[in-house]
Amino acid sequence: MYSIEVKDLTKEFKSYRSREGLSGAIRDLFTREFNIVRAVDGISFNVKKGEMVGYIGENGAGKSTTIKMLTGILKPTSGSIQVNGRDPHKQREAFVRTIGVVFGQRSQLWWDIAVQESFRLLKKVYKVSDEQYQTHMHEVIEILEIEDLLNRPVRKLSLGQRMRCELAAALIHNPPLLFLDEPTIGLDVLVKLKIREFLKELNARYGTTVLLTTHDLTDIEALCQRVVMLDEGKIIYDGELQELRENWGGGKSAAIEFTHRIQLEQLTALTGHLPIRWEQENPLKFRAILESNEMTVSELLACVAPHIEVKDFRIEEVSTEEIVQKIYQKGFTTYA
Amino acid sequence: MFYGELFFDYLKQYLKTKLAYRLDLLNELISDFISQIVNLVFILVVFQHTNFIKGWSQQEIIFIYGFFLIPFAVFSTFFNFWEFQEKYIIKGEMDRILTRPAHHLFQVVLETMDPESLAGVFTGLIIMGYAGYQLDLEIAWYDPFVFVLLVLSGVFLYGGVYIAIASLGFFIDAKTGISPMIYNIQSYGRYPVDIYNKVIRFVLTWILPFAFVGVYPSAYFLGREDLFVYVWITPVMGIVFFVIGVWLWNLGVKNYRGAGS
Amino acid sequence: MPSMYLEMIRIRFLMMLAYRVNYYSGIIIYSINIGAYYFLWDAIYSGQGSMGGLTPSQMTTYVAISWMARAFYFNNIDREMALEIKDGKVAIEMIRPYNYLAVKMMQALGEGIFRLLFFSVPGMLIVALFFPLTFPSSPETWGWYSVSLALSFLINTEINLITGVLTFFLLNNEGLMRAKRVVVDLFSGLILPISFYPGWAQSILHFLPFQAISYLPGMIFAGAMGNEQIGGAILIQLIWVVVLLLPLYLMWIKAKNALVVQGG
């Protein structure tokens, strides 16, 4: 059973151009030039119930546009969307009761009044019964540790405090599906960790499906088994995060520092039978690049350590961030 | 009813916000009052120099103005759309509205509501009452009902026009700033339209039909039988323009492209 | 004037050009405004030869030029300032190497020049086709009018800056700005020449800065002032330009010291 089913989804915008200079601006008064921009270009994907999916891409890749179509804000140019079994834009009011949305850069809460007043109003908007509110929100408030913030006006909260309240506000009606658009933007590490913990807990306890866009790939590493990667409106990767790392991570490497000077030939001779490539940084420091995933680091160490004294040893793993960066720089196909 | 309850909840929310800025409230009430008086001053000064304008006396014109203030005050309370484009479209607050389960127009109305404008109802009643007293108008038992009907029609008509104007924001990517300009025009409905030439009379009757908020409904109470046709189509105009406004709005929401990327 | 300020005028000018709908609707609405007031006054005169020192044709000219001049001097910088103060953006403006108030005035000037060239001048020509206007015949009057118009821009902008700066102290002065707009329209003589008011009101209005915004230049243009009176009118305007600087300056100093950025 799918939470989100997207097929051949496309969204086009008219983008107006301004002509240059004063004379251009005067001409713009009468006729305007525009081009059609495809923000989202024929994408298809499904999200299973209870899945946590990271939706990533560079700025302008079409992430926000997709989210806005999935949440019923924007009408697609073509293609079909089924979210929680409904067409978001057609049955908007009934539909949005089944989702929760957090926009990291936009507040759900009323700026000048206490947080709980906002909650109370949203409770009415979403027609949440008192019992449901009591049991469910009590938990949410407890896990997010926002009990003490509830009677403070929103404008007096720090960004991290506000964000936790925003999350709670989006969950008032205990939606089975949660959209998070840049939820951790601008937050410090501790708050980020707390939010991640909470989302995991939410997912485990209620089976909430989560679709998450973020710039911070550590969010995705911590939360999502699956990523959908977008570039220029098209999906360029959709699959396990682990697989992405294995296939495009370029393997592991180990940095080794020896106590005295070593020749590169000595090392290649010692490890010639292993799938290893050596790089030299300076006479003491070398890097061993493991070219097979099957090979373990201990094999490497077993070959080298008995013969040469090792001062320091460090396993280096390519971060997801670097992988993604490489993919965007070199293009997915050439990199693959 | 869901929407009725929501209305009171938003109202409560609004009052809580307002209590945080109490001085503001006073400030706003006074400034509203000043604008209302300023227009009265215009009428009073002009009648220092003449006794009739196209057959309308000073008291009659003051009566029309007093009547106008009442639907206008109710309208201002609920259709406070002056900054709609800036706030909801350019800054993207509409995104948030669209992720909530209540009609979008209704939500915007509730969020921008401005109950202190209702004070204008009292100013209007006082001005109208005073002029009516001077004119020695007779009041039939059913007149209060006619009055409420005509006021509501005016509110819906105004509402429709301004919803339509706000909807333009969905289609136009640059700031329009159109509503403050229309704001200038609406005051002409407060004067007897027969002083204008055909074109302006036509505009004020059928295109931007502000005459239906001032002079036409007042004609009923002033016993101007030559204008009674317009009195009776006032409710029709109110409904028609409101429907057009809402229709344009819905079309606009379909066309909404969101802020940013 | 440093080229930075010139650049600001230019940018604002371009911004105005970008608001196309605003532009078209503006021309239509101002024409309707002038038309409506023309008929209103026509009905008020209804055969009387002269009122408040103006003949019907002078009155028509007065109404038309007053509205077109309003397009030039009118601006919303007080609202913009209020918004910037409320959003806390003003803090950023404060660390920039320029005078915030001067920048605002330059932006207003850019806006004003745009409207003067693309709005008032063509608008005036259109209006002249429909209504019997009498343009000043002597180049001298045109010259004096230009000076007077420039001064009215300065006075109105100073008043706007004052209301804008008041936001620092009132936190939210939406109401005050609205009231100011109506009061300026009424007391400046835009909707009613000062000479129409009863004697006691006139004597009060002569001591207020508002008449210098619309009434004085309007009367010069409509040819309702002799040469001597013109000199006096310009002098009054000049005095107000200087006098208004004082409260503006004092309030600005105070505002900078007590910078309360809301929402911060």
Local confidence pLDDT in tens for the 264 residues of chain C: 577 777 778 877 777 776 666 777 777 777 777 888 888 888 888 878 888 888 988 999 999 999 889 989 998 899 889 888 877 777 777 777 778 888 899 889 988 888 888 888 888 888 888 888 888 888 999 999 999 999 999 999 999 999 999 888 876 677 788 888 888 988 999 888 999 999 999 999 999 999 999 999 999 998 888 888 999 999 999 999 999 999 999 999 888 776 644 443
On whether residue C64 sits in a domain, the answer given is yes
On whether residue C263 sits in a domain, the answer given is no
Interface membership of B16 toward A (CB under 8 Å): yes
* Sign of the dihedral defined by the CA atoms of residues B64, B56, C62, C26, in that order: positive
* Residue A159 sits in the same domain as residue A101: yes
Q: Name subunits touching C (3+ CB pairs < 8 A).
A: A, B
* Residue A301 sits in the same domain as residue A173: no
* Residue A127 sits in the same domain as residue A255: no
Residues of B with CB under 8 A from a CB of C: 21, 23-24, 27-32, 34-35, 38, 41-42, 45-46, 48-50, 53-54, 168, 172, 174-178, 181-182, 184-185, 188, 191, 195-197, 199-200, 203
Closest Cα of chain C to B136: distance in Å?
25
On whether residue A142 sits in a domain, the answer given is yes
Domain containing C17 equals: 3-257
On whether residue A283 sits in a domain, the answer given is yes
* Residue A299 sits in the same domain as residue A206: no
| CA–CA distance, C103 with C84 (Å, rounded to integer) | 13
* Residue A188 sits in the same domain as residue A77: yes
Determine whether the interchain pair B46/C192 forms a contact, defined as Cβ–Cβ distance below 8 Å. yes
On whether residue C262 sits in a domain, the answer given is no
Nearest chain B residue to A100 by CA: give it.
B99
Determine whether the interchain pair C21/B35 forms a contact, defined as Cβ–Cβ distance below 8 Å. no
Interface membership of A248 toward B (CB under 8 Å): no
On whether residue A329 sits in a domain, the answer given is no
Determine whether the interchain pair C44/B50 forms a contact, defined as Cβ–Cβ distance below 8 Å. yes
User: HEC states along chain B?
Assistant: CHHHHHHHHHHHHHHHHHHHCHHHHHHHHHHHHHHHHHHHHHHHHHCCCCCEECCEEHHHHHHHHHHHHHHHHHHHHHCCCCCHHHHHHHCCHHHHHHCCCCCHHHHHHHHHCCHHHHHHHHHHHHHHHHHHHHHCCCCCCCHHHHHHHHHHHHHHHHHHHHHHHHHHHHHCCCCCCCHHHHHHHHHHHHCCHHHCCHHHHHHHHHHCCHHHCCHHHHHHHHCCHHHHHHHHHHHHHHHHHHHHHHHHHHHHHHHCCCCCC
On whether residue A278 sits in a domain, the answer given is yes
Delimit the domains of chain B by residue range: 2-255
* Residue A78 sits in the same domain as residue A31: yes
Determine whether the interchain pair C20/A28 forms a contact, defined as Cβ–Cβ distance below 8 Å. yes
Number of domains in chain A: 2
* Residue A255 sits in the same domain as residue A168: no
* Residue A65 sits in the same domain as residue A27: yes
Closest Cα of chain B to C184: distance in Å?
10
DSSP for residue C133:
-
* Residue A220 sits in the same domain as residue A255: no
CATH code for the domain of A291: 3.30.70.1150
- Pick from C18, C45, C175: CB nearest B27: C175
Across chain B, mean pLDDT equals 87
Number of domains in chain C: 1
* Residue A41 sits in the same domain as residue A128: yes
Local confidence pLDDT in tens for the 261 residues of chain B: 788 888 888 888 888 777 766 777 777 788 888 888 888 998 999 898 888 888 899 999 999 999 999 999 999 999 988 888 888 888 888 988 998 988 999 999 999 898 888 999 999 999 999 999 999 998 889 999 999 999 999 999 999 999 998 898 888 766 666 666 677 677 777 888 888 888 888 988 998 899 999 899 999 999 999 999 999 999 999 999 999 999 999 999 988 876 554
* Residue A102 sits in the same domain as residue A231: yes
Q: Is B25 left (phi over 0), alpha (psi -120 to 50) or beta?
A: alpha
Interface membership of A155 toward C (CB under 8 Å): yes
On whether residue A146 sits in a domain, the answer given is yes
Interface membership of C86 toward A (CB under 8 Å): no
Per-window interface: B 110-169 vs A, CB < 8 A: none
Which pTM value belongs to this model? Answer: 0.78
| CA–CA distance, B149 with B237 (Å, rounded to integer) | 12
Task: Name which of C30, C40, C63 to mutate to probe chain B: the one with the most chain B Cβ atoms within 10 A of its Cβ.
Answer: C40
On whether residue A178 sits in a domain, the answer given is yes
* Residue A240 sits in the same domain as residue A261: no
On whether residue A288 sits in a domain, the answer given is yes
How many other C-beta atoms can be found within 10 angstroms of the C-beta atom of residue B177? 17
Domain containing A287 equals: 251-317
Point out the domain boundary residue: A228, A246, A264.
Answer: A246
